[in-house]
Structures are given as C-alpha cells and as structure tokens.
Amino acid sequence: MATVLVTGGAGFVGSHVIPGLKRRGHRVVVFDNLQRGHRSTVDQLDVEFVQGDLTNSEELQRLFVGTHFDAILHFAALAYVGESMLNPDVYYRVNTAGTLNLLQQSLSATEGQPPPVVFSSSCAVFGIPKQLPLDERSPKSPISPYGRSKLVAEWLLEDFGRAYGLRSVVLRYFNAAGADLAHGLGEIHQPETHLIPLAISAGRGDAPLHLFGTDFDTPDGSAIRDFIHVCDLAEAHLLALDHLLAGGDSDDFNLGSGSGISVWELVHAVEAELQSPVPVHQAPSRPGDPPALVSDSRKAAVVLGWQPHYSSLKRIVSDAAAWDQRQRLYISHELSHVTT
C-alpha cells in the first residue's frame, strides 16, 4: 500500500483514477484549488482532501511537511487551448511554474529523494502533425500556450530526472471523454468546452453546437480527433503507478484509441444515441486547433500492458449521454426541493 498524492483529483480525469487507487489499497490525498474541480466529487470518493494552489509554495510546503508521499499523480492544470491563446501568462504560471513548484517542494521535503511522478500531458504538445498516427518520437512543436506549457513541464521532469534522480511517467492523452457510471463520476466542466458534452447538450435542446472549422484538409472538412474513454485513461495511470512503484524507469506514452473520428462523425454518433438532431452552428476554425490528431499507443501496450477497452465511439457517447441525463435529473430534483 502506498500513499499517493493526486493533484487535481477533484477534476474530470483525476477523479476517475481514484476508485482504482482505493481498490488497490492505496491511501489517497487530493490537492486541488477547486477552481475547475468539485468538492462534492472528492467528498463522494471519500478521500483526504487538502485545498490548495500549485502556485502557492507555502501551501505545497505544508502539504509535504505533514505527509510522506510514495508517488504523485499530477493532474492539476488549466486545460483549455482557446483560453490559453488569450491568457498565456496564466497557463505558464499554473501548468509550468506550478509543476516546477510541486517538484521543488517534493524534492526539498524528501531530502533529495523525490517520489516518482505520473504526469498528465497532452497531444497538444505535437502541434500540427506532419504524419499520423503520432507516436512518442513524433516531433513536438506545440502551437498553443497550453501545449507549450505542457511540453516545458515534460522537460522539467526530464531535467529533474537527470539532475536529481526523479523518476516519472509522462502520459499524453488525446481527447478524454466518457464517464464512470458505476462510481457516479463524469465530466462537469464549467464552462464546458469539450465537444462530446456540448454535442449532447445541443441534441437535448440547449444551445446549438459551435462546430469550429469546416474547411480543414480532412475528408469531410471538420477536424479529426482521437477520443479515449476516461476509464481507459484511469487504467493507464494505475499501470504507470505500478511501473514506478516497482522501481521502473522514466518513460513517456501516448494514450489514444488509435481511431481518428471527425467532428461530423461525432455529431452523427450523438444524433444516433439521442435519436434526435444536433443543431450545429458552423464557425471558422480557432487558432491553436490542429486539423487532425490520432495516437499510436503501441508503446503503452508493450511496456505497460495497457489496452483500451471502453473507447469505441459508441461506448464513449452512450456513457457520456447517460451521465448527462443523470446530471439533468439530479439538477431538476434539487430544484424541485428548492421550490417546494
């Protein structure tokens, strides 16, 4: 049994890893500033919670003074490409300087024996690919401050490894989606910017889906993405943690399903799931959005033994739609209590 620090554990992907950590008998401590995550999620998962900010050295110092961590799963970050184009300073401060802060505090609290780190990176580090699918050796040339802030954080881990013996696993997710209905977990982003929840809410009568980019150089003109079920990502974290706790070397892995899905295909899959049209408002492509991103995840299969099990488009959309329905019922139930 290990004591595992989960930064950003109140958010979407981090929260989905926690049931598996608990199942393995690990003690879990979540560190999150709740800027984008949810206290109710942490309470529901019944784990220790420390509210704090990655950019606040004193808060991090207090966290490490109180507890010896055997490993860190580092999810906490800001993760919207569009927002990063408008506010690059905040992205470098949280994602890059925040990661540096975390590594420095963990290094000084452990007298030079820092616990290993599993880091949430992103396919955004690749920029506009020259060749698909993308494997770990594909050139990294990010085109958004978000992607750059993540790539520099990857370099920090690499340099801390060389200089201070820090071991780390970098997991580059493609598009995380879906929900873990068995544990009552799913995606609650405010504001929501992710495609699948937005398409589902458009299909259920909320605002039309803004489809950014219809003249990409792709078969139907819309962007192509690789959607990976969040439960498959959760499994990859558990395997990466096992690898590091067993003394494994630093490594990096791209995590996707390996299937490129166009935005139009996704819209049609949501329409089929909901049995209702998804109103679409076509808009120009956004700066920072590459035309196509598809993962080659064979290295994760070979080294970690990871295979996606839940990442068919149908399964992802049906789990996301079921989660959305559950949230709607919950909200209308809460509202009925307020009004009665």
Ligand X SMILES: NC(=O)c1ccc[n+]([C@@H]2O[C@H](COP(=O)([O-])OP(=O)(O)OC[C@H]3O[C@@H](n4cnc5c(N)ncnc54)[C@H](O)[C@@H]3O)[C@@H](O)[C@H]2O)c1
Nearer to ligand X, 13 or 267 (CB): 13
Residue 273 found at the interface with ligand X (CB under 6 A)? no
229 binds ligand X (CB under 6 A): no
Sheet containing strand 71-74, strands side by side: 48-51, 27-32, 3-7, 71-74, 117-122, 168-173, 251-255
Q: How many residues bind ligand X (CB under 6 A)?
A: 28
- SS3 state of residue 18: helix
When binding is defined by CB under 6 A, the residue of 47, 77, 103, 185 that contacts ligand X is 77
Establish if 33 lies at the interface with ligand X (CB under 6 A): yes
Residue 324 in the binding site for ligand X (CB under 6 A): no
- Strand 71-74 to 48-51 pairing: unpaired
Asked if 176 interacts with ligand X (CB under 6 A), we say yes
Q: With CB under 6 A as the contact rule, which of the stretches 10-18, 21-29, 84-92, 162-170 interacts with ligand X?
A: 10-18
Considering only residues 111 to 150 of the shown chain, the ones binding ligand X according to CB under 6 A are 120, 122
Q: Determine which residue in the list 5, 54, 103, 261 makes contact with ligand X, applying CB under 6 A.
A: 54
Q: Does position 92 bind ligand X by CB under 6 A?
A: no
Pick from 53, 251, 296, 324: which binds ligand X (CB under 6 A)? 53
Strands (E), 123-273: 168-173, 175-177, 209-212, 224-225, 227-229, 251-255, 261-262
CA quadruple 131, 135, 136, 137: dihedral sign: negative
Q: Give the binding range for ligand X (CB under 6 A) out of 49-57, 129-137, 178-186, 298-306.
A: 49-57
Of 80, 146, 173, 310, the catalytic one is 146
Q: Which one, of 24, 122, 117, lies nearest residue 78 by Cα?
A: 122
- Active-site annotation holds for 80: no
Distances (CA, A) of 234 to 18, 65, 240, 259, 272: 8, 28, 10, 19, 27
End-to-end Cα distance, the chain: 47
- Among all residues, which ones are annotated catalytic? 146
Residues that bind ligand X (CB under 6 A): 8, 10-14, 32-37, 53-55, 75-79, 94, 98, 120, 122, 173, 175-176, 189
